[in-house]
Amino acid sequence: MNGSRLSDFLALSRQSPWHLDPFSEGLPDGSRAEVWDTGVLCIEPSAPAERDLVISCGIHGNETAPIELCERLLRALVAGERPCRQRVLLIFGNPAAIDLGVREVEENLNRLFSGAHARGERHSRERQRAAALEGYVERFFSARDQTERLHYDLHTAIRPSRFEKFAIYPFTHGAPYSLSQLALLNQAGVDTILLADGPTTTFSYFSAHRFKAHAFTVELGKVMPFGHNDARRFAAMEQCLVSLVSEPGWQAEPVAPAQLRVFQVCQEITRHSEQFCFHFSDEVPNFTVFKAGTLLAEDGEHRWFAVQPEEAVVFPNAGVANGHRAALMVAPVELKPEQLA
């Protein structure tokens, strides 16, 4: 679509990283694309199907592979190469951090949802952004009832991983896990699932808990600079998202739970002071395994040991702010039939 302001929406958002006046444009397939703010775009098909789909990326500004994936998806829709048959809310989460090529400007945006942005006395642009994004997701999901609500929050990890792609399944508060969503993730190349053990302040948990959406934090590999990502490594995820957007009623191929690698969070390591240190290299890959009894970390009088026969570390980062999670420890589990729906 020649002359479309949407043809390079990310560049437009990076030029106005904290605010962009709303505008709308028609797409070749008859859909309407509505820009709600910088990095936030809603596509309304003329006859939407049964799903309402949020796709977010760039919550951390240096996680470029998902940003490039979402750019390709949007450009295909704007150019008329793909039809849009579902309502879609596309979010580039932190345009200012994206433009600077940094994880965050002041605070970790993915720790500020479910109202965390309003707690405490600190004020930051990321807190304002988290509050705004919560409002846009509420506006999007509240427009219709009786639809299947989906939210895929796409990330890449700071470090390599023994299992390159994995997803965090937010705490369900006792609700069953969705076998159809596990099948979709598996078809997207994500065969490792981490089951959260409690409420968090992440973007995916916000959508899952507040709107009963099927929502996931999806890790697609390791952080790389713009232009250094191999799109072939993300092709399966990209194709699944294209199918969801463009093909009403599309379903992933069924999966047996035994085909998936599933972990449960068993403990969380939190940094309390400047004395905090790991007793393993800060460079170990995600899912590195430690035997029971291994001293993992200490912080003054606080000491953490592996308690499961085989306990793996995920997201170790000794440099987080005091009071924040420095690592998750996880152990393998099997999903039972009564846990699935």
Q: Is 134 a catalytic residue?
A: no
Structure tokens at 170: 């937010």
Residue 140: phi and psi, rounded to 5, are -70, -55
HSE (side-chain half, CA atoms, 13 Å) at 273? 7
Report residue 3 CA to chain centroid gap: 31
DSSP secondary structure of 132-169: HHHHHHHHHHTT-SSSEEEEEEEEEESS-BSSS-EEEE
Alpha-carbon distances of 31 from 5, 9, 139, rounded to whole Å: 15, 17, 18
CA angle 88, 152, 110 (to 5 degrees): 115
Cα 219 to chain centroid distance, Å, stands at 7
Annotated catalytic residue, options 107, 219, 238, 311:
219
What phi, psi does 340 have (nearest 5°)? -115, 155
Q: Which residue's structure tokens are 């930051």? A: 124
| Closest by CA position to 111, among listed 95, 93, 90, 99 | 93
Catalytic (active-site) positions: 219
